[in-house]
Amino acid sequence: MSQSLARNGAADLDKSTIDYAAIADPGHGNSVAGWTGVVIMLIGITVGCVGFTIHNPTITYISIGIVALGVVVGLILRAVGLGNKPKKK
């Protein structure tokens, strides 16, 4: 075996047949709405972990509300125009 598969990839791969436009980077929600919603949800999860660890159901249930708030804030910010624009085909 003269070719190294780790360096050169599969020997039978024809790179000219790959549709690079179809596998373009989707962006993964890299926007103000996405980041704000995720940060609020992470705070809610952290509060929930603390409440669960100290056996306090009130704090744990409040954290569920914080996570739901993060979803709502993200959706509102996206509706206002701070989210990613939908891709047109």
> How far are the Cα atoms of 33, 69, 73 from residue 64, in angstroms, in the given order?
20, 9, 14
In eight-state DSSP terms, residue 83 is S
DSSP string, 49-69: HHHHHTT-HHHHHHHHHHHHH
Count other Cβ atoms within 10 Å, centred on residue 18.
10
32-77 pLDDT, tens digit per residue, is 999 999 999 999 999 999 999 999 999 999 999 999 999 999 999 9
Domain spans in the chain, listed from the N-terminal domain onward:
29-82
| pLDDT value, residue 26 | 64
pTM over 0.85: no
